[in-house]
Structure 1
Amino acid sequence: MHISLCLAEAFKIARNLRILAEIIPIWAKCNHPNIVPLIGEATVRGQVAAVYEWLTYGSVLDYLKRHPTADRHQLSAKICDGVAYLHANNIIHGNLKGSQVFVSDYGVPRIMLDCTGTHMVGKPRDIDEMTLTLRWAAPEILMETSGKTFQSDVYALGMETISLSTPYNGMSDYRVVSNVMRHIFPSRPMDTISDNEAGNVLWDLLTACWSQDPKERPSAADIGEVMNALGSSQPATQVHQRPRSSMGFAPNTVIEDLVAFFVNNNLTDYTEELKRSDMKIQLSKPYLATAAALLFKIDLPIKGDHRNTIHIQKVVVKRVMNESPYKQLKRATRELYFWSGYKHDNILPLLGFAVLDGNLAMISPWIENGSVTEYVRKQQKPDYHDLCTQLSCAICYLHGHGLIHGDIKGDNVLVSDEGIVKVTDFGVSIAAQLQIEFTFTAVGRGTERWQVR
């Protein structure tokens, strides 16, 4: 799997190498999909540096500016899960805020540890080494009556969750301190925390996070449980979906029309890339061949927004198979159409398409772990509850947008290196509204063992 690496620039603020030497072992023990993974150590100009995976969005605030319709409930729930993981492993973050939460290409939030704040329970930082971020700081931190604790993390988590933006926005620092000391909460953002039952539950939870008495604040795990429950009950939110144009599919439809349709709907066409001689070699033999499809694993130059190559990525090229050329093209068009219209953390992203051997082929990231069935076999203690919750979120999202997947089973549920569930295979999906009008020639085409009788 292709990754980009960079030096841990956050550690430029470290007062001395001792602090960095202390944080790296803590970071190395962390293994959670919502924590930025540490790749390792490096020596740069004679000094130790931490190396971690490069993430597209340098903060959750940057991500929301680029994708304003992203599901804030789900983002907040995942941030809570990351903090709960740290606390379960006796790690205090110490400086939680929006700029410490990065976001991956697939919209997964990942918390960056903080070299001046993060520490193990019982091994606090010296007061002069700690970074104080005023708008996320608990009252006891401002008054210097306590060091960083799980409870001060929860206070900051509440401030971050309120709207995934800067708390007390527009106020001077002096007024912020005054409000915190007088126990005046930030204004409730009605656009993101509505005046309904779910919104009131969330607001009550956040105000509990800001209790003046640290002992009265809920745990990060409790907050995560409520946020996940609220997220699954909310109407699904489109991540960054654009309106799509319409066309009809008929026996006289030619592949050039379909290519133009999908390109017009912002799908990347990799046809020319697959014509290269090195690609033809990789496409000479599928790694998996079934009656329904041929799957090829190749290294593909991925295009950016301006059609330039941004990196090489291992991908899967899927070519639908059928005895009838017309049905083969129609099935490929249906799956490509449905797959391209839905973007969610728990849906395998579609990178683009290509014309391969006269038919449409779909291109998606290669997932090393394979199916969820394979994944749980490899894990010593698989978290079945988390996997099922993620799968439920994907199905809830699809149903909220009027799509029935039609073939949910183990083989169609993949798990990424970060433990994120990715639903795939939309070949038999059914939607309430179509921009391509299909004629239906078959029913009950899902997998029999998983179908309701």
Structure 2
Amino acid sequence: MSESVSACQGSDDYDSKDIVVSILDTTASREIVSDNDWALPSHNSMIPGSSHTDKGPSKLLVMNEILSYLEADGCKDAGTQLDWPSVDSAPVRNQEISQGFGPLSVYHGRLKNGQPVKLSYVMHALVEDDVDKLKGAARELTTWSKCKHPNILGLVGVAVNHQRIATVSPWTDYLDLHEFLLAHPKADRYVLSTRMAYGVAYLHNKHIAHGYIMGSNIAVMRDHTPKITGFCEATLSNLGFPDQVPRSNRIKPHQPRYSPARWLAPEILLDEKDKNVEGDVYSLAMTILETITGAVPYEDMWNGAAVLKIANGHHPRRPIAHMPYENEKADMLWTLLGECWASDPQDRPTSVEVLARMTDMVSGSWMHASCHCAPNSPTRRAITAHIVSDTIIHRQMSVEETLSHLYEHGCKDATRFIDHTKYSSYPVSYGGFGEVYRGKLKDGSQIALKCLRLALDSSEASQKQIRNAAHELYIWSKCHHPNVLELIGVTQYRNQIAMVSPWMEHTTLGRYLSRYPQVDRCTLSTQIADGVAYLHGENIVHGDIKGTNILISKDHTAVITDFGTATLKEYTLKFTASATTSKPGMSLRWTAPEILEEATGISFEGDVYALGMTILETITGEVPYSETVNESALVLKIARQEHPTRPETKIPSNDEKADTLWSLLTRCWSYNPQDRPTVTEVQKTLRAIASGTAPESTGEPVRGHVIDF
């Protein structure tokens, strides 16, 4: 294909093999030229927060520049083998990228020789500041391409198409460990674990520390051979920033359902050390536990609570149903796992020792090494509910059937209003629930189509998810307020279910503030509070108020969106969660401590806490706790009741209105939920601040005055 720019290919001949393609999508900062045409921004385009840096705006890197960095560090060309037109227009699967940097969408395609391929998209923009990381990623790719082992997924090379960088690797039958275990619940899990240890030992013998050994980075072949993957996704995914957040923060707004923190050694989790072989051994043990149980480490806790456990040196509980007491093999394995989780990295066994001891456990008794789930264990119930056999896999509900269910439960059908010839060719953004496309109604109105990630099968869990989704969409459809995004309806798009809403010209709050630094931020804050007040007046708890869930319309009005965790007060249903304790939609920086500590679910008081954080975000243009990048350190700060530092340049002390605002925010962040103001009180205080005489805004921080107030 002429548009395909090639960058890389390994030395081995992979023509006879299926291929996996992982694509790093660099379209995040594209601008729509016409309804179906795309272009990269000019080199003068600004990145998040670039207007506030000493160096001035950073430049976006175009593909030939990116390729030059990759080629200089040894990446090979794989693009000429790929049949790009064969790639499906819609993803066949959506999942979280294992390192937690954003959503991953999987597409099918083929090689020119007809072999099937898999393409996995991650959306990012690359800028000059990322050159060193890009070079590091290239070195990791080169290192990966030299790995030749039956338990390591090989790398063919790198290719580029439509401004997207792709890593190309051999096809695997199962994308990750959990997909395999659901399809094969009786698989020999001790043998699987031993083979994973074999792969890790090989890497360590090559002086390679993986850094992210976990179930989502274990692909599995049809013959039950596990293959370690995910070598460079963390590095590649950390290049560029998809939202307009100041680069000094270097924080990803997307929060994965299960954070990779669950698998990380405490010294790495707390940023005391970089990735190393001792940390890999710790993570390998967590992955072995994950393999035996079929569940993630600390499965009964959400991410923040799990981080606190790890930081305090508390290991996972022994899963008695899977590793019973007085069972020699189970006792041997549990002892080994405990040694791998030693607080002092030097006390942990090496990966070679782990391999030797695992081999001892399975030698001579391979058929009896399988872990059998107890009939009523959570894992057994989950397996039964989702995928017990290949029959269930193929008995999926169609999109049409699912939409019919949604319409029956009160969702509006938007299909007849849409001009189906006016869609963007590629997603304009990615959210926690799916891709977002741009389109038009027949009357010419611009719309956004947000494709939902729903498990469309016949299981009870899937049916409940659909009912919950219908309930949430119904709630949203009944909301009518200038500061709450309207839901036009739902429709089918690219064989997916899509929510249809008006297009917001200025996208998210962060991007808007970066583009219009002189905007009246008090007015914006008041509009956001008005939207929250409306929801609470309708007895609706939003549950995820933050800057990325605030969109700005063409007339510069703030509207609240993303009802993914919203619920009527008398219900406890969640949009996409199948486990009530995981709280997948949660965003740490905006989360009230009682929710973080799992003392309560989402609540009106929790919304007020998050609103206070969002007002701070609006005033400063930075996320809360912007100086704290590490997730674990952030969790500890919130648990210790430490508020964000007062931004003196934006909310100066000894200024009457600034002091009033800061007092309001600190009340919103009260540790005791009952001590927080109601959203109505927040509204009144913001209006009182705005009604006074304010200095003319210059768009720059001014000492002695709160900006735009």
TM-score in terms of structure 2 length: 0.32
Largest Rg, 1 or 2:
2
TM-score (norm 1): 0.50
